[in-house]
Structure 1
Amino acid sequence: MSSSAHKLSLTARIFIGMAAGILTGVLLQVLFDDSGDFAFSIFGFEFSTYNFLVEGIFSTLGQIFIASLKMLVVPLVFVSLICGTSTLTDPSKLGRLGAKSVGLYIVTTAIAITLAMSMALLFSPGEGANMMTEVVYEAKEAPSLSDVIVNMFPSNPINSMAQGNMLQIIVFAVLFGIAMAMTGDAGKRLTAIFEDINTVIMRLVTIIMNLAPYGVFVLMAKLFATVGGDTIFKLAKYFFLVFAVLIIHGLVTYSALLKLLSGLSPVMLFRKMRDAALFAFSTSSSSATLPVTMETARNKLGVGKSVSSFTLPLGATINMDGTAIMQGVATVFIAQVYAVDLTMSDYLMVILTATLASIGTAGVPGVGLIMLAMVLQQVNLPVEGIALIIGVDRLLDMTRTAVNITGDCMVSCIVAKSEGELDASVFNDPKAGLKEEDVDFQHFDKNG
């Protein structure tokens, strides 16, 4: 069994798990409808076959898989960021990293929403739609920009880690790493300890990656056993337009920026992003995928530790190209459904609001819909319109996340190349990182 499993790459195994999960979910939805389901008893408890599989086994295992990924995020970001900043010999480099990263993330977000609105105006997904919904959406209040800036600095770093507040963790880790770099021998001894911890954490990431095909299978099976085909049919034009813009932005915009600003091969980037993209697609969470994204950037793309440990956690928090695309199409869609004519100044306001909101609402739960509510309010569109698209948002969120983490790695490659922190031989090697991502569970190598 072990030898046959190793004949398939991790990407192939994840893809097989995903395809099998989708097929299983569709079959469950077809076979176990209201008339075809049946009940059984275990230890005196009555179970429905459908609920036992979908809400029981698949849901439980899927939540365990997501929790296992999220378990690694805080220690990985904290430790890797300390390792990266503690070795910086040039203090101004940190400022350059921050300026380049944030600048590129803002530019890609602005391009994303402009492209989305242009395509939406061209294809008019909401024109002539007569949609009613019983779902009610209540907009949550978004924090002000000053509150976001103040809240970036933790009053209690341990509490920030417990809550998973990524911006506060980044700020504390950067300050701690700088202090270590300025502390002489004591800082060097502590750096060596953190380097060892980082190595162990990355090995833990690899272990969970090897279990991913099973996690992806149960996540896909549960999703496609519950998603309603009738909802997708009613919103088909909106759904496929958002999906198409996501693909265009991911392939065209990222390819152009990578080639123009770094001269690197976009084909090689996309080829090496396959595993991380499949993780992102199945988890719908940039933060949960962050351990895999960092492993990909370091071992497959050759991005230096000091760059990847800073740009990737930051990107997982503020880079929302996929969400911006959803907002652009959704704004035009809702305006057309409610027969509201938006002016050119309204469209420019949408672009500006969505771009700034991608940073202003960073780290807020349900950030995509909060940002969309902000955008709609800016141009006097009914926030209740969000309820029209909630039904298909889960499927689109999967693709948005895959696009977002690809953008994170693209920006990391550009920044690393400009800082001389990119190993071109690793980036151009098709087999780079393949050895590191495989674990032999039967024979442990004590020497790593």
Structure 2
Amino acid sequence: MKDLLKKLWFQVIIGMFLGVGIGLLLSPTAFALISKDLAFAIAPWVALVGNIFLALIQMIVIPLVMSSIILGITSAEDTQTLKVLGLKIAPYFVFTTITAVTIGICITYFIQPGNFVSADIINQISSTQVVLKETSVLKDISIPDMIVDLIPVNSVKERLDGNILAFVILSIFIGVALMSMKEDDAKPLKDLAKSLQAFSLTVVSWAMKLAPYAVFGLLCNITIKIGFDAISSMSMYVFTVILGLLALLCFYLIIVYLSSNIKPLDFLKRIREVQLMAFSTSSSAAVMPLSMKTAEEELNIPSPISKFVIPLGATINMDGTALYQVSAAIFLTQLFGIDLDLIDVVILAVTTVGASIGAPSTPGVGIIILATILQGLGVPPDGVALILGVDRILDMCRTTINVTGDLTATIVMKKLVSLSSNSEELARKISDKS
């Protein structure tokens, strides 16, 4: 038992149960052992450690992503290997994202969770309105201008805007440029990237020590505020999203089996620690080091593939988030009686795919992106407040699927590399670097 208590994943589970349990005891809508004012005054202090944990992850996410991508690219050592990796993984990411959005649309239209919410809940929306300060209005610009805007001209502005995709592109430029330079000229920047990654991993290790307390505080805080009333009233919506995520998980398991002959239960057993950490932290970035370690040690993925695919996937491969966004958008249109024709649904799907790519891999961004998507559908802004109460729960679930998708991508990439036209030479190069 002592050895079990030392394991981080077990400590996180204890924190989850204690957080929900104590939150229910203090919640005014549950057992209400204390007054509402006192409970709401205590909640922010309970969440303090959790918010510090999230702040540490948000602080380190950009240097971690940039250094990991740069090192992943330069580990290939030649442009041919990089070309094969890049040209194969990009279509795969787009394919799985489109699949996730399609699953979300089909399941939400089949169940129609918007028809299960009572009128009383809708009437209460205005009283629980939440101002999303980070939501930005969609710019009225052309597609060519949007493509040009991907190039990070002003890195400080992109950091303030939370545009991590810009830093991914910058990292790719740096990595490819380093491969084209003389070794003596490239070595200082490569060493800097290694040092930056080591620094980032050190901060992540500090943050992970706070994880059990962070999980306890964050779950206790949200449970105090919403109890189970909001969850029960939105149960069909929550069920719909989780069912869609489970369908997406089954899709991943099929891909894994076809790519590697790893049985579904065996695969889940190998990655369970990563899934648990993703579920508890709601952050793909927080578990990125653990994801790379698991890919290499448990799934036998060569280091160049894991270092290239996982940081990239943590930034642009947000299948769980994409499914959630399209399901939530359709749910709210059903709730407010807004009819979408086929063209509207297609536009929604395309917008969701685009919005999920490059979304920051930190907690809570899904609700921000969703608010932006809803602007074009005629859904009242107050509608976001309705789903905000259960967003934390769904955020934990979709992040778990996101990291599962990243690990699945490493297996697919390993298989695709072995099937390439120059597979023997390429496989030898990658194996030598692992």
Shift of 1:255: 0.7
Q: Which runs of 5+ in 2 are unaligned?
A: 419-425
Equivalents in 2 of 1:162, 1:375: separation in Å? Answer: 20
Q: What secondary structure, in the 3-state scheme, does the structure 2 residue paired with 1:126 have?
A: helix
Question: In the aligned structure 2, how far is the partner of 1:385 from the partner of 1:37?
Answer: 29
Deviation larger for 115-124 or 145-154: 145-154
Between the aligned partners of 1:49 and 1:203, the Cα distance in structure 2 is 37
Shift in alpha-carbon separation, 1:305–1:151, aligned structure 2, 3 A: farther
The reply to whether residue 74 of structure 1 matches residue 62 of structure 2 is yes
Alpha carbons of structure 1 residues 417 and 9: separation in structure 2 relative to 1, 3 Å: farther
* Residue of 388, 412, 415 corresponding to 1:414: 412
Change (3 A) 1:7 1:385: closer
Alpha-carbon separation, structure 2, partners of 1:410 and 1:268: 13
Question: Match of 1:239, as an amino acid?
Answer: V
Matched, 1:107 2:103: no
The aligned length equals 410
Partner Cα separation in structure 2 for residue 10 and residue 33 of structure 1: 30
For the residues of structure 1 that align with 2:300 and 2:60, how far apart are their CA atoms? 21
CA contact (8 A) 2:4 2:10 kept: no
1:245 matched residue in structure 2: 244
Q: Match for 1:28: what amino acid?
A: L
> C-alpha displacement at 1:288, in angstroms?
4.0
Contact 2:24–2:31 (CA under 8 A) maintained in structure 1: no
SS class of match (2:182): coil
Q: Assess if the C-alpha contact under 8 Å between 1:205 and 1:292 holds in 2.
A: no
Paired position in structure 2 for 1:117: 105
- How far the C-alpha of 1:374 sits from its partner, in A, is 5.7
Does 2:43 correspond to 1:54?
yes
Determine the C-alpha separation between the residues in 2 that align with 1:115 and 1:121. 10
Looking at structure 1, the residues matched to 345 and 161 of structure 2 have their Cα atoms a distance apart, in angstroms, of 36
Stretch deviating more after TM superposition (74-83 or 138-147): 138-147
Does 399-408 or 371-380 show the bigger shift?
371-380
Match of 1:177 in 2: 175
* Structure 1: gaps (5+ residues): 39-47, 427-448
The AA in structure 2 aligned to 1:280 is A
Specify the SS of the correspondent of 2:304. helix
- Counterpart in the other structure of 1:142: 138
**What whole-Å deviation, never above 9, does each CA across 1:181-208 have from its counterpart, x for those lacking one?**
3222343465456446645654554454
| Contact 1:284-1:398 within 8 A present in 2 as well | yes
- Describe the superposition over 1:329-388 as per-residue Cα deviations: whole angstroms up to 9, x where unpaired: 3343233333344444443343333223333x7459975345545655555555554343
Q: 2:373 and 2:161 mapped to 1: Cα distance? A: 27
Change (3 A) 1:137 1:227: closer
Residue of structure 1 equivalent to 2:294: 296
Cα separation, partners in 2 of 1:287 and 1:207, compared to 1, 3 Å: closer
2:356 equivalent to 1:358: yes
Give the TM-score taking structure 1 as reference length.
0.77
Assess if the C-alpha contact under 8 Å between 1:167 and 1:314 holds in 2: no
- Note if 1:91 corresponds to 2:79: yes
Alignment TM-score, normalising by the size of structure 2: 0.79
Distance (whole Å) between structure 2 residues aligned to residue 325 and residue 351 of structure 1: 10
Within 2, Cα distance between the matches of 1:128 and 1:32? 23
| Change in 2 beyond 3 A, CA 1:384/1:18 | closer
**Deviation string for 1:241-294 (max 9, x for gaps)?**
2122222222x1111122234444443432233333233323333334434434
Superposed CA offset, 1:100-151 (max 9, x none): 3332222222222222222222222122642322145787422455454333
- Provide the rounded CA distance (Å) in 2 between the counterparts of 1:209 and 1:220: 17
Within 5 Å, give how 1:216-231 maps onto structure 2: 216-231=215-230
Q: Which structure: greater helix fraction?
A: 2
SS at match of 1:287: coil
- Asked if 2 retains the 8 angstrom alpha-carbon contact of 1:413 and 1:422, the reply is no
Cα RMSD (Å): 3.7
